[in-house]
Structure 1
Amino acid sequence: MSGRDRARPGRSPPHSVGQSVPAVRICRAMMGGVLQQTEAVALRAEGQDPRLRPFVNPAGDRAPMSGANASNIQAVSRAFMLLELMNRRAWSSVGQLHKDSGLPKPTIVRMLQTLMQCGYVVKDPRQNGYSVTLRVQSLSCGFHGDPLVVEAARPWAIALTRELHWPVGVAIPNGDSVMIRFSTIYDSSISPFHATLNMRLSLFANALGLAYYAFCPESEQEMLRAMVGDRESALLSSREKGWLEWRVKRARERGFADRDPGTEPRNSGTIAVPIMLDERVAATIGITYFRRGVSAADAARYVQALKRTATAIAKQIVSLERVGAAGSDA
């Protein structure tokens, strides 16, 4: 992350990376008076009553609410959505955030001003954009631990990027999507993305998601389809009949999944494979590249490298589980 976090008169300095910030303080800050008032003004400018508008989270799931709670929750939801979007680039313009979020530009400007007042965002006129500050790290310092599969995959993913140069991501299931929990973007000098950690990806359109969905049991596939929110439902309805079945069949036949060509960003592609423990998909691992820089022969080589790496990670998981079991018995 870039940008400097400066203390301002009358305000306490930003928290250090290792400092614990109670969740209650974060929620109160984000739901405080300034944010609530600016969001209400923005909603009224759009011709909507902030007391009645339902809350829609970034994943597309809808939870109707009314009264002050709806306004408070939607304000927080939008603020965190902007922070997530800004974490994907070194610098973000209002226009880019408008395109990514669909929020009106005046609303984005007001929320950015509030986030700047809270110390989470900084503006640089030279870059004509905004960037998150180091203070955003305080929002995650209370989270501890990752699944064993992520710990096992870390050295193998780094080694794969050293071999192929492109960034590698490891994703685990997260409701009706998968979430990237480890990435080697900072180990790659040719990454198509600025940041992807904690990014949620579609089970159907994205490679890391499809590598999970296509290789899990049919009973789990049915459960996942029943869980999908508005975003995934809209995706399926926008595709031709049989599109998902075709993608699943092709992935299983080839042993890997790829990103749907119609899914943004179109200048890059991803291929991914499952990390299997017996008959269960523990996680998925994929490599992302610029389409123009990779030939069909290169892609085939990447697939073999991914499969080899996934097998090694699965063996590492079993080994770590044995070590853990031995330690608990000691």
Structure 2
Amino acid sequence: MWNPKVKTITALDRGLAMLEMVRASGGASLHELHAGTGLAKATLLRMLFTLERRGLIWRRIADGCYCPGEAGPATRHSAATDRLAQCAAPALDRLQAEILWPSDLTIRRGNAMVVCDTNRAHSYFMIRRDSIGFRISMLRSAVGQAYLAFCPDKERETILAGLRRSRRPGDALAHDRKALDAMLERTRRQGYGVRDDSFGGDYDKARAEQNDRLEAMAVPIMAKGGRVHGCVNIVWIQGVRTMAQMTRQHLEPLRRTAADIAIRMDGPS
């Protein structure tokens, strides 16, 4: 066996060991990396910053965990979600710093929308957090309405066909074609989705039964060719600002954020 008489590079070895730990876990906090490697947190932060600049890892906004970058092993499903969250992270940070109100990044999973990242934990305002993977009504939520209105026709009809087979109260609008068409036309005309008046955050229950006391507006993240990567919203406390005030003050920053994410998504991987 070849046994060169050279020393290994300790710092490189430690960095690779930490990268393997991040990849094996799918996402690890600074505390977990510290416990797993025994390295000082200051040292870990320097390594993490270096790996992040190389695109080998990225930091999730919702919980601050470090996740494998595109070079890491992943299923096609999780790779697409992670790429969107990775591309969106800096834009969502900038948006939150500019407007103070928090945002969620969502994707379609089947006939519902799902939270794949959120900056609510870092918001100036104390707002209830939805966990990663939280399922959101396609028909009643701002992100769902934005997705449906701007996704390709064939995809929309596939989603609606599935929703029409559902007996869940939260999917009832799928059976009212006139109301559904009006909602889609309104969303396209104004360029953003809003919550249904009866929606209080719960998939099926009416706002009168369960109310998270929030309002939201959302825009699609448009891909080349007319597909929709996902949607990004702005969430605020009900009664603190009106929809007219929020759109006047924050719709353009929200649209700019979605466009920035789309540019990164459509760029070289």
Normalising to structure 1: TM-score of the pair? 0.51
Does residue 204 (structure 1) correspond to residue 139 (structure 2)? The answer is yes
8 Å contact kept, 1:169–1:180: yes
1:186 Cα shift? Answer: 0.7
1:186 to 88, 100, 121: 121
SS in structure 1 opposite 2:150?
coil
1:176 to 92, 104, 111: 111
Match of 1:275 in 2: 221
1:149 Cα shift? Answer: 1.7
Does residue 252 (structure 1) correspond to residue 188 (structure 2)? The answer is yes
What letter matches 2:158 in structure 1? M
Match of 2:233 in 1: 286
What letter matches 1:275 in structure 2? I
1:254 Cα shift? Answer: 0.6
Gap change, CA 1:235 and 1:196, over 3 Å in 2: farther
SS in structure 1 opposite 2:232?
strand
What letter matches 2:257 in structure 1? T
Deviation per CA, 1:46-86, whole angstroms, max 9, x where unpaired? Answer: xxxxxxxxxxxxxxxxxxxxxxxxxxxxxxxxxxxxxxxxx
Normalising to structure 2: TM-score of the pair? 0.62
What letter matches 1:317 in structure 2? M
Structure 2: gaps (5+ residues): 1-21, 26-73, 201-210
1:184 Cα shift? Answer: 0.3
SS in structure 2 opposite 1:222?
helix
1:301 Cα shift? Answer: 2.1
Q: How does 1:1-330 map to 2 (within 5 A)?
A: 145=79, 146-228=81-163, 229-231=166-168, 234-236=171-173, 242-264=178-200, 265=211, 267-278=213-224, 279-295=226-242, 296-319=244-267, 322=268, 324=269
Structure 1: gaps (5+ residues): 1-16, 21-141, 325-330
1:147 Cα shift? Answer: 3.7
Q: Distance in 2 between matches of 1:314 and 1:184?
A: 18
1:299 Cα shift? Answer: 2.7
Q: Distance in 1 between matches of 2:84 and 2:266?
A: 10
1:191 Cα shift? Answer: 3.9
What letter matches 1:310 in structure 2? A
Gap change, CA 1:175 and 1:241, over 3 Å in 2: closer
Gap change, CA 1:216 and 1:232, over 3 Å in 2: farther
Deviates more, 1:219-228 or 1:290-299: 290-299
Where in structure 1 do 4 or more consecutive aligned residues deviate above 4 Å? 17-20, 142-145
SS in structure 2 opposite 1:300?
helix
Q: Distance in 1 between matches of 2:176 and 2:212?
A: 19
1:291 Cα shift? Answer: 2.3
1:240 Cα shift? Answer: 6.1
8 Å contact kept, 1:273–1:310: yes
1:161 Cα shift? Answer: 1.1
8 Å contact kept, 1:170–1:284: yes
Gap change, CA 1:19 and 1:151, over 3 Å in 2: closer
Q: What is the count of residue pairs matched by the alignment? A: 183
What letter matches 1:307 in structure 2? R
What letter matches 2:251 in structure 1? V
